[in-house]
Amino acid sequence: MMRSTTSLCAGLLALLTFPVAQADAVGVYVNADYWQYDGKADVAQTGKQKSSFAFEQQNQASLSLSFEHPVPVLPNVRLRYTALKGNDTQKVTQLEFRGIQFKQNVNLDVDLTSTDLVLYYEVLDNIVSADVGIAAKLIQGDIVAKGKPLGIQKSALSLNETIPMAYLSVGAKLPLTGLSVKSEVAGVSYGGSNLTDAQAEIQYNFIDNLAVDAGLKLGYRQITANLEDIEDTDANFEFKGPYVGLELHF
Q: What is the CATH number of the domain that holds 52?
A: 2.40.128.90
Provide the phi-psi class of 11: left if phi over 0, else alpha when psi is between -120 and 50, else beta.
alpha
The pLDDT of residue 127 is above 70: yes
Q: Per-residue pLDDT averaged across 200-225, rounded?
A: 96
Q: Per-residue pLDDT averaged across 197-216, rounded?
A: 95
**118 Cα distance to chain centroid:** 11
Q: What is the pLDDT of residues 136-157, one digit of tens each?
A: 999 999 999 998 766 678 999 9
What is the C-alpha R_g of the chain? 20
The pLDDT of residue 22 is above 80: no
Domain that holds residue 176: 2-246
Please state the domain count of the chain: 1
Tell me: cis bond preceding 149? Omega within 30 of 0 counts: yes
Whether 67 contacts 118, CB under 8 Å = no
